[in-house]
Amino acid sequence: MSIIIQDKGLLTTIQSSNGAVDSLSPQLANKLVGNSVDADTVEMVVRPAVIQFTEPTVIAFSGAFFKALVGDKTIYPNRIYIFDKGDVLQFTDINRGSRIYLAVAGGIRYEKSNILESGDEIIMCRNYTELHDEIFNMMRNNETVSWGIDTYALAEIYLSDDFHIVRRDDTPDEIYEKLIEREYTIVGERNRFAIYLKGEEIEFDPDRIDNYGILGGVFIQDNQPVMAFNDFVTSTSLPHVGTIPSYHMHKLAQKTNGSLLKFKVIDAEDAHVELYKFEMWKKTIFKAIDYKIKKELVKEKM
Amino acid sequence: MFFENGEAAITFQVKRVFTDKERQTFLERFAPHKSDELESLVVTESTVNLLYNPTKIMERHDTIEPAGIPFEVLKEVVGDVTE
């Protein structure tokens, strides 16, 4: 037996690190449970799945700020938990965001399709390392630890409404002037495909045959911006005005309908500086998790 | 024209449709360059896109301008193709 999807929720899939719409949250959840940060996770959207465990399983979830219940115990994001045979994880209140990523110590995989239906099983790989063994030992007498990734540490990364867009040299300045003039409102999302905005109208019809449907690409459809997610088309005839850098895509992934969004137009050089700062921040968080786990292990051995 | 398509891609775009032979040539020319720094080449009707890992290039090549390496490779990949 493995992990059973009792209720699939709105859309529950297993995603690789490249396939996750919010690429940061799976890394955080994986890091907490001792996995490689690139290990596959369960991506759940808006209405998460109900999940049953059939053996002692160490998990963490990250992303949207959902609370969850196992029996009468409240389960929080960005913490490590161990669940036992028969435990059922059910998500409840949502405070912010739209996507949750569940990591399972030792890794997971799917048998037929990565799109999970009610009744499907997620196969536990059980690729346990020495670190996993130590985490299991550490949690033998405790269902969780007293720490997690602090919400404030993630606030700056997730809560801002400002989005960088890397300009194209061949796009006229007046297009960018309109784009940055006022905030845009998210009016819809086709899941994993694109986010649709409404705000200042942009009339743009350049002489191009097709554009690459790059992840984070900002395209104009019916005079309004459309932002491409992971499953967007490879090639599109929609005019392309710029691209959101990867370090802002996880923030976009957690925005919901009605959220406001403000563009800031930058050059690729500035985006590289910001990306490097983001990578340094991420390394700091990962080191802090390593430190906390080691400290718990020492405490356990004393 | 060439342009930086976000912080992790360089795009070459033309105002016509590439021939099948041109597309094949692009992929063949890129193959020996594929690495964890220069991750993939995506060819559409009229664009050639080199996806790269800026952080790895910055750290390994001690540079704050990681686009230089993929840009040179993309120029080699498209060769003398005209717009």
If 0-12 CB within 10 Å is exposed, 13-18 middle and 19+ buried, where does residue A155 land? Answer: exposed
Q: A84 or A207, which is more confident? A: A84
pLDDT confidence band for A159 (50 / 70 / 90)? confident
Average pLDDT, chain A: 92
Q: Are residues A75 and A126 in the same domain?
A: yes
User: What's the token pair of residue A194?
Assistant: 């694109």
Q: Are residues A40 and A22 in the same domain?
A: yes
Are the CB atoms for B46 and A214 separated by under 8 Å? no
Tokens 């398509």 — which residue? B5
Q: A229 or A1, which is more confident? A: A229
The 10s digit of each residue's pLDDT in A41-77 is 999 998 999 999 999 999 999 998 888 999 999 999 9
- Is A212 in the B-facing interface, judged by CB distances under 8 Å? yes
Between the CA of residue A65 and those of A47, A150, A155, A180, B64, what are the distances in Å? 12, 12, 11, 29, 35
In the chain, the amino acid numbered A94 is I
Q: Tell me what pLDDT residue A285 has.
A: 93
Q: Is the pLDDT of residue A154 over 90?
A: no
Between the CA of residue A194 and those of A22, A179, A199, A223, what are the distances in Å? 13, 18, 16, 16
Range name among A133-137, B24-28, B69-73 with the lowest pLDDT average? A133-137
Q: Is the pLDDT of residue B51 over 80?
A: yes
Q: Are residues A17 and A121 in the same domain?
A: yes
The 10s digit of each residue's pLDDT in A79-92 is 999 999 999 999 98
Q: Is the pLDDT of residue A196 over 90?
A: yes
Q: Are residues A202 and A255 in the same domain?
A: yes
For A273, phi and psi rounded to 5 degrees? Answer: -65, -45
Q: Is the pLDDT of residue A297 over 80?
A: no
Q: Are residues A88 and A209 in the same domain?
A: no
Q: A49 or B83, which is more confident? A: A49
pLDDT confidence band for B57 (50 / 70 / 90)? very high
Q: Are residues A246 and A116 in the same domain?
A: no
**Is residue A246 situated within a structural domain?**
yes
Query: Of A150, A179, A207, which residue constitutes the final position of a domain?
Result: A150
User: B7, B47, B65: best mutation site toward chain A, by most A Cβ within 10 Å?
Assistant: B7
Averaged over B61-77, what is the pLDDT? Answer: 95
Q: Are residues A96 and A25 in the same domain?
A: yes
DSSP A231-292: TS-SEE-S-EEEE--GGGHHHHHT--TT-EEEEEEE-HHHHHHHHHHHHHHHHHHHHHHHHH
Q: What is the 3-state secondary structure (H, E, C) of A9-58?
A: CCEEEEECCCCCCCCHHHHHHHHHCCCCCCCCEEEEECCCCEEEECCCEE
Averaged over B8-27, what is the pLDDT? Answer: 96
* A275-283: long-range contacts, CB 8 A cutoff, minimum separation 24: A275/A245, A275/A246, A275/A247, A275/B7, A275/B8, A275/B54, A275/B55, A276/B54, A276/B55, A276/B58, A276/B64, A278/A157, A278/A247, A279/B55, A281/A157, A282/A24, A282/A27
Strands A260-266 and A162-167: parallel
CATH 3.30.1360.40 fits B2-78, yes or no: yes
Are the CB atoms for A258 and A223 separated by under 8 Å? no
A248: left (phi over 0), alpha (psi -120 to 50) or beta: alpha
Number of domains in chain A: 2
Residues 6+ apart with CB under 8 A from A130: none
DSSP letter (8 states) at residue B32: G
Residues of A in contact with B9 (CB under 8 A): 212, 214, 243
CA angle, corner B67, sides to B66 and B69, nearest 5? Answer: 85
Residues of B in contact with A169 (CB under 8 A): 1, 3
Chain B nearest-CA residue for A214: B5
- Is A246 in the B-facing interface, judged by CB distances under 8 Å? yes
The answer to whether the CB atoms of B45 and A245 lie below 8 A apart is no
**Is residue A95 situated within a structural domain?**
yes
CA distance A103 to chain B (A): 25
Residues of B in contact with A275 (CB under 8 A): 7-8, 54-55
Chain A nearest-CA residue for B48: A212
Range name among A5-19, A58-72, A288-302 with the lowest pLDDT average? A288-302
User: What's the token pair of residue A136?
Assistant: 């299991």
Residues of B in contact with A234 (CB under 8 A): 42, 44
User: What's the token pair of residue B71?
Assistant: 């840009």
For residue A55, give its domain range. 3-150
Q: Tell me what pLDDT residue A1 has.
A: 66
Show me where the domains of chain B are located. 2-78
